[in-house]
Structure 1
């Protein structure tokens, strides 16, 4: 198994990302932001697990609608919502460090080895064996049975950027504490498909003044673009698992 690509090697970040479909950036979260993000995440996790924050991702569903039937959560939604009162997230998601890289993000605040990817699969058709293992929503017994799969292990402060077309999945150990920030950054040129990927999560609150008031100039510019994208498609954008 080859070593994970990082920007410390001789190849550029873009070269590695284009070739492998993902790349790890060490130390992207600066020390002065790390602790604030960690403590904010712990508070948000507690509020979600105790039912004080209803916006969560439930096990067995990659995309909405999630529903409230499953008590097990694998993610917290809308962490920049002003009602949460946690400005650390907006500061990080609109920061120079993060926006400068501009692709899919997983930022680890603790050790995290839940992600599995197939390097290079973002630019090639799935093989018959890969298709057989990725054509349903059933979770794999062992993600490494996927031909070509590798496990991505992150240390605190490391960030992995990956192409959303890469074959990937995740498994979680309920006994292992996990705090990982996950964001999606892309281009408005994707049109309706791009709109659905973002807006299916329900972002009406982002158009209200209290949220814009939490953002700096760059954050407000990013917000304006996502609002224009919403208005450009008109009406309901639907869900990825339905459309």
Structure 2
């Protein structure tokens, strides 16, 4: 694991960093119970906000009953307060502020979802950057990457998770011609390690208690992909947080997921004072952004 003093330097240079633990023993137990209930409700059709097999990116096609992710786990209708409690916890907020080089009062609330294993299908995401289209030319790619310093995304494993692949350092430079070959079509890779420079990320969760809640924080415009094995249990907390220093640069990537429920008073009432302040900063961005569209095509 990386010492706190070195976190930002390593994150800035390679585009990701591993952190452990990001959960106390108590919060780990609370979140694992909440995650189990949430996954169950999603799979049996009680929770409709989900990522569906067959759709890699929003908007998600509802025709397939199998799911690889759960959307909006802080939603008040889900009635799982453990998620918002952890998202606004000292461990999470302080780590994000360190990585972004900002103060707490500059942080804005963004997305909190959960990644789960499909039950009937294996599934994979293609190599991509979250807010740069696969057909972007080099100049467009470079311009987009230069703006993407005002937020971070993270995966926290509640069970051991080896689904994610990344290309270290790719958050700073356009793709090479060889990398474009592996990331210019909608097709997921047969072998993710065929991508030049790719590594597989192995997060320890329940299986090794000394690594409870191991987390990867990453710049979401790093080249990354993922594979989902229907036979391997997965419950990985998947969230992001931004800084108001970025203005509206993150608006499309965040608001494309449909966050109208977050402006309602009944959601605000579920948050502590820190959460309410972070939410107000998100609402200001939403009000100024206008129509945002979608970052990527399915």
| Fold conserved between structures, TM > 0.5 | yes
- In structure 1, the residue matched to 2:135 is none
The alignment's TM-score, normalised by the length of structure 1, stands at: 0.92
Is the Cα contact below 8 Å between 2:55 and 2:61 reproduced in 1?
no
1:97 aligns with 2:97: no
CA distance in 2: counterparts of 1:132 and 1:70, whole angstroms: 29
1:74 aligns with 2:68: yes
Pairs within 5 Å for 1:1-243? 6-8=1-3, 12-102=6-96, 103-156=152-205, 157-234=213-290, 236-241=291-296
How far is 1:91 from its partner? 0.5
How far is 1:241 from its partner? 2.3
Is the Cα contact below 8 Å between 1:20 and 1:119 reproduced in 2?
yes
CA distance in 2: counterparts of 1:232 and 1:74, whole angstroms: 32
Is the Cα contact below 8 Å between 1:188 and 1:194 reproduced in 2?
no
CA distance in 2: counterparts of 1:221 and 1:174, whole angstroms: 39
- In structure 2, the residue matched to 1:3 is none
CA distance in 1: counterparts of 2:47 and 2:163, whole angstroms: 24
Deviations 1:54-104 (A, max 9, x none): 000123434311121122211100100011100000001111111112131
C-alpha root-mean-square deviation of aligned residues, in Å?
A: 1.5
How far is 1:8 from its partner? 4.6
CA distance in 1: counterparts of 2:48 and 2:37, whole angstroms: 14
Number of equivalent positions: 235
Is the Cα contact below 8 Å between 1:117 and 1:167 reproduced in 2?
yes
**Structure 1 counterpart SS, 2:86:** helix
Deviations 1:18-51 (A, max 9, x none): 1111111011111110000001000000000000
CA distance in 1: counterparts of 2:20 and 2:189, whole angstroms: 29
Is the Cα contact below 8 Å between 1:59 and 1:73 reproduced in 2?
yes
How far is 1:179 from its partner? 0.6
Runs of 4+ in 1 over 6 A off after TM superposition: none
**Structure 1 counterpart SS, 2:95:** coil
